Amino acid sequence: MSDERHSASIRMEALAPHLAQAAAAWAARLGLAEAGEAAFALQLGEAGLQLVELGPQAPGPVRVDFVEGAMAHRRQFGGGSGQMIAKAVGVQAGVRPRVLDATAGLGRDAFVLASLGCPVTLIERQPLVAALLEDGLARALVDPEVAPIAARMQLLGGNAIELMAGWQEEPPQVIYLDPMFPHRDKSALVKKEMRLFRPFVGDDLDAPALLAAALALASHRVVVKRPRKAPAIEGAKPGYVLEGKSSRYDIYPKKALAKA
């Protein structure tokens, strides 16, 4: 996701007195005021961190929750290794590639891959989104059922292009990209999230540089998720495409994934 800085006005709020100290720590870390007029609030409550638009017509808050709700349903009933994303990254019998999700967002796709057994490193450069993701992972790690999945997820904050260019560890086998795009999924949930995050995130105008950096680093393949009718990212052409109802996966193969 784009833009290092948040341009919209936002304040930090604690939703209970005993959370004030922890909320103040988040405010200091993210450079947020704890009072004053604002269009948005990052709130710390009993259920964790959440981002909310302030005002009478605003949608509800958005938080990262890997334990309950939509992610729990997908974990239990999502189709396992038959899902299109699993096929796109190369999950198959005896193959669970090491994945770098360089545009982590709220971590849904990374969580799906981790739930299938893939070790996943997540990069998120927007500080507010990274904070929500960090908080969601911390809560997942203390849930007995979800902790083994969350333990396969490692979060890095920062600019993915820079982090990939300076990568010092063993290269990821697969790099997964889902750049922000103006015309995305029309579901109510995604509409709400886009309304909340667009002022902070914008569109990924550097997607071509992101793809180039990923192709330079990945050892086996790069996978790019796109809206079904959107053009491919400018640059190298995908080797093949997996197409679904609303989205598709552009796949840039470098070498075949083999069983461990």
* Maximum alpha-carbon separation in the chain: 56
Q: Are 49 and 132 in contact (CB under 8 A)?
A: yes
CA-CA distance, 102 to 116, in Å (whole number)? Answer: 18
H or E element that contains 240: strand 240-243
Residue 221 has pLDDT above 80, yes or no: yes
Q: Is residue 26 part of a domain?
A: no
CA 98 – CA 113 distance, rounded (Å): 10
Q: State yes or no: pLDDT of 188 exceeds 60.
A: no
Write the pLDDT tens digit of every residue in 135-170.
Answer: 999 999 999 999 999 999 999 999 999 999 999 999
Residue 106 located in a structural domain: yes
Residue 80 lies in a domain: yes
260 within domain boundaries: no
Surface-to-core class of residue 233, CB atoms within 10 Å of its CB (0-12 exposed, 13-18 middle, 19+ buried):
buried
**For residue 55, what pLDDT band results from cuts at 50, 70 and 90?**
confident
Flag whether pLDDT at 1 surpasses 50.
Answer: no
Q: Which residue has the higher pLDDT, 129 or 259?
A: 129
Query: If 0-12 CB within 10 Å is exposed, 13-18 middle and 19+ buried, where does residue 48 land?
Result: middle
User: Band of the pLDDT at 189, cuts 50, 70, 90?
Assistant: low
Residue 9 CB burial class (10 angstroms; 0-12, 13-18, ≥19) = middle
| H or E segment and range at residue 23 | helix 20-30
Interhelix angle 20-30/127-140, nearest 10 degrees: 140
Find the range with the poorest average confidence among 133-137, 220-224, 232-236, 256-260. 256-260
pLDDT band at 59 (very low <50, low <70, confident <90, very high): confident
Do the domain assignments include residue 204? Answer: yes
Query: Rounded to an integer, what distance in angstroms lies between the CA atom of residue 71 and that of residue 146?
Result: 10
Instruction: Please give the backbone phi and psi of residue 251, each rounded to the nearest 5 degrees, phi first.
Output: -115, 130
In a domain, 28, yes or no: no
Known binding-site residue numbers:
108-109, 124-125, 178
State the burial class of residue 132 (Cβ atoms within 10 Å of its Cβ: 0-12, 13-18, 19+). Answer: buried
pLDDT above 70: residue 259: yes
pTM over 0.95: no
pLDDT tens digit sequence for 190-203: 566 667 777 776 65
3-state helix, strand, coil in the chain (%, to 5): 35, 20, 45
**pLDDT of amino acid 246:** 85
Domain-located, residue 219: yes
pLDDT digit string, tens, across residues 32-51? 999 889 999 999 999 999 99
Domain-embedded: residue 60: no
The whole-number average pLDDT for the span 245-251 is 93
Which parts are annotated binding residues for S-adenosyl-L-methionine? 108-109, 124-125, 178
Per the structure, the count of domains in the chain is 1
For residue 230, give its domain range: 70-253
What are the pLDDT digits (tens) for 128-141? 999 999 999 999 99
Query: Which CATH number do you get for residue 84?
Result: 3.40.50.150
What pLDDT does 210 receive? 95
- Chain mean pLDDT for the chain: 88
Mean pLDDT, rounded, for 226-231 = 90
